[in-house]
Structure 1
Amino acid sequence: MTNKRKIFNDPVYGFVTIPSDLIFELVQHPYFQRLRRVKQLGMSELVYPGAIHSRFQHALGAMHLMNQALDTLQLKGIMIMDIEREAAQIAILLHDIGHGPFSHALEYSILDKVDHETISSLLMEKLNKEFNGNLSLALDMFKGSYHRKFFNQLISSQLDMDRMDYLNRDSFFTGVAEGTVGVDRIIKMLNVVDNELVVEEKGLLSVENFLVARRLMYWQVYLHKTCISAECMLINTIKRARFLIKNNTKLEVPKHLLPFFEKSVGAGDFKNNPNILEAFVKLDDHDIWYMLKSWQYHPDKILSYLSESILNRKLFKIKIGTNLDFAELKQEVFNDFTKAGIDSSDFEFLYSQNEISNSGYIPKSSNIKILMKNGTIQEVSEASDLPTIKALGNIVKKNYLCYAKDVYLQFN
């Protein structure tokens, strides 16, 4: 008989135990095993060479933290049934199962505004049928329809197990020490009041550190200008490939990827066409790298240039700042493209212009509540005496322009 209570040796937390037979079977499922082949941070390894950890590791880590959080709440007298515990662990384990390769870069290029939460939900429903309805409670918790609200807050909120794991894990693998979070301390300070998750006042400093660390990680890692440049190049490469396919140009594309190149796939396609969902769960980072390696030799100069440049880290130049006017710079770039003999209809594949934003804490989204020693509950920005915590609610926006450089040498 197979022992299903396996132990993983995690570099961040040490030993992580699979808590039930059902969870073991979910971990073993091809949908979940695919996450081994999807990197957590996409293109960030081009900046931080150690950032090669996977979504598989992150999901197991988040489940481990969920287990610790539930232990804490039970010790404080919160009644949690075994069925609820397993459901919460399943919900957090599968919360990222709908992520595609290179995460948000691919959401903007092969999908039509379909976020990974939507796909995760569809895959969980499919798994629920396969496992005879045993994921029904996990689905309710994931969607926020379960009457005990704190379970959903542990899965998806501004202080959930997902964020706590990815901040700690991404900080560990990138070496960006500013992202390190006192996860153990925060979890030990969790409590439930009126069915909602709160943090006891003794944990306020740790929550403050968590919010500041999250903001710093966004600027230093997730929104690092080199990562943005690389993602823009990947998006443009996929756009170019789709353009060529629509114009009947032969391209090397894995069969399961073709539906996403032939048309923009929206949420309705996922819900109404089971073949689309099945094709999606075959996608991983290896498909994208395979295509780039193949396309670098394609006769289309733009596709081969973009593919070869990504493979060899010859990235677009990027200018980024607050309220920058790029009109003059863009005209210079376009003049260079023209001198290199590039047709104006092809300019869109060689530059990107957009905006990024970063907010460490959005009170309107879901409050982090602090249980004060006198029994009152305050929202964290009210409880904190740090002006930086109040300022974290302000959304900071920057605009950027990234573009191909030395195009004359590349295209002549």
Structure 2
Amino acid sequence: MNKLKILNDPIYGFITIPNSLIFDLIQHKYFQRLRRITQMGMSYLVYPGAHHTRFHHAIGCVHLMQQAVNVLRFKGVDISKAEEEALYVAILLHDIGHGPFSHAMEHSIVNNVSHEQISLLFMERLNLEFNSNLTLAIKMFKGEYHRNFMWELISGQLDMDRADYLKRDSFYTGVAEGNINSERLITMLNVVDDELVVEEKGIYSVEKFIVARRLMYWQVYLHKTGLVAEQLLIRVLKRAKELINSGVKLTASDPLQYFLNHEISIKDFNDDALEIFSKLDDYDIVSAMKAWQDHDDFVLSNLCDMVINRSLLKIKMKNKPIKINQLEKHIENLIKTYGITRMEAEYFVFTGKTSNQAYQLEHQNINILHKPGKIQDIVKASDQLNLKALSKPVIKYYICYPKEAL
């Protein structure tokens, strides 16, 4: 069977699958599940085109990694065949542990287990199936391989993950501000002392990349409507678990039922739990919410109705923390109008905060390589004053409450 297939991608055109191992991993049911996990969670409620999946994104990352390997080899960086394959495997599987609606439900389905931890569990399981052919990729993914630039390509501040998702999410949302020139960025990459650097000529592409990241976060990823929709989704799961714990029967698919009935933390993530998790996707959550819309429980039915029919809570963003009396006023109003308990009212009235840091000065810096061989952090190398400002976290506070009758 010919495994060197060509895929047609709306962003990059034709993408070639580099070898039979990558083909077999793409064909595996664990990876095929990513076709049913949206890349951008609830953002489609704001940007109707944002229905692309984690599957799209992972394939795009492999394509960019192929370009990066070719560029670095052309510049004399020694990358063995085994290292090349491991880079492709690690970037292909870097998001395989995402649950339904990507980040929206990361800590709702399971207890404080990140998608990176679940990705690692999937990789280790696949490694058993694939005769230990993923061992080097796992080492790179964990940052334990001695050549640090390879980890930076997978999970640094200028990695192939970001290079793909900014361009892809910009395309599918129609938000032009995020459209980075990933091809030029990759062409300007080099390696010095096993650390990733960007040649001086690429400095403006890096500036654009950091600014694009900031704009995409405020305009898309942290858009207030997407934010409130994600909060409602988290509360749907929380309420469903509460009801089940008190003996109420809820209809849901078997995989979802399992995670509603059990509190699964990282130590409980055995092979059985992983197998059940691999059958869970966006469709389980949507079909459950469609059923729960008509449930007798006031909180669950209203939360589901809000998400399914996009009749969301009102959200106000502020630069300062929300005053307690503001919150209390809305809670009291809800209790009085519907005769519900304070705990039930708090499902519909709540505050929170969100932050955005486009560039982390202390974490895996983006370094610029000047002609004489001098290496400088992008913030120092750039004459763009606002890059220093973009390395500081910006925090915004929000309050959510019903805008009309429930």
Same fold (TM over 0.5): yes
Q: Percent identity?
A: 54
Question: Which amino acid counterpart does residue 323 of structure 2 have in structure 1?
Answer: F
Q: Which residues of 2 match residues 30-179 of structure 1 at below 5 A?
A: 30-179=29-178
Does residue 302 in structure 1 map to residue 299 in structure 2?
Answer: yes
Corresponding residue number in structure 2 for 1:379: 377
Q: What is the distance in 1 between the residues matched to 2:262 and 2:215?
A: 37
Corresponding residue number in structure 1 for 2:324: 327
Corresponding residue number in structure 1 for 2:396: 398
* Shift of residue 274, structure 1, vs aligned partner: 1.8
Alignment root-mean-square deviation, CA: 1.0
Question: Which amino acid counterpart does residue 116 of structure 2 have in structure 1?
Answer: E
* Shift of residue 260, structure 1, vs aligned partner: 1.9
* Shift of residue 102, structure 1, vs aligned partner: 1.3
* Shift of residue 305, structure 1, vs aligned partner: 1.0
Q: Greater shift after overlay, 64-73 or 350-359? A: 350-359
After superposition, the C-alpha distances for 1:38-91 in whole angstroms (9 at most, x for unaligned) are 000010000000000000000000000000000000000111111111110110
Q: What is the distance in 2 between the residues matched to 1:207 and 1:12?
A: 20
Give the secondary structure class of the aligned counterpart of 2:14. strand
Question: Which amino acid counterpart does residue 314 of structure 1 have in structure 2?
Answer: S
Give the secondary structure class of the aligned counterpart of 1:287. helix
Query: Structure 1, unaligned stretches of length 5 or more?
Result: none
Does residue 256 in structure 1 map to residue 255 in structure 2?
Answer: yes
Give the secondary structure class of the aligned counterpart of 1:137. helix
After superposition, the C-alpha distances for 1:176-226 in whole angstroms (9 at most, x for unaligned) are 000010111110000000001000000000000000000100000000000
* Shift of residue 163, structure 1, vs aligned partner: 0.3
Q: Equivalent of 1:317, from 309, 314, 319?
A: 314
Q: What is the distance in 2 between the residues matched to 1:365 and 1:122?
A: 25
CA contact (8 A) 1:167 1:179 kept: yes
Aligned length: 405
Corresponding residue number in structure 2 for 1:17: 16
* Shift of residue 35, structure 1, vs aligned partner: 0.2
* Shift of residue 145, structure 1, vs aligned partner: 0.9
* Shift of residue 355, structure 1, vs aligned partner: 1.0
Q: What is the distance in 1 between the residues matched to 2:323 and 2:179?
A: 36
Q: Which residues of 2 match residues 212-227 of structure 1 at below 5 A?
A: 212-227=211-226
* Shift of residue 110, structure 1, vs aligned partner: 2.1
Q: Equivalent of 1:361, from 336, 341, 359?
A: 359
After superposition, the C-alpha distances for 1:134-175 in whole angstroms (9 at most, x for unaligned) are 001111111111111111110000000000000000000000
* Shift of residue 262, structure 1, vs aligned partner: 2.3
Corresponding residue number in structure 2 for 1:292: 289
CA contact (8 A) 1:232 1:352 kept: no
CA contact (8 A) 1:112 1:266 kept: yes
Q: What is the distance in 2 between the residues matched to 1:247 and 1:404?
A: 26
Q: TM-score, normalised by structure 1?
A: 0.96
Question: Which amino acid counterpart does residue 101 of structure 2 have in structure 1?
Answer: F
Corresponding residue number in structure 1 for 2:277: 280
Give the secondary structure class of the aligned counterpart of 1:12. coil
* Shift of residue 263, structure 1, vs aligned partner: 3.7
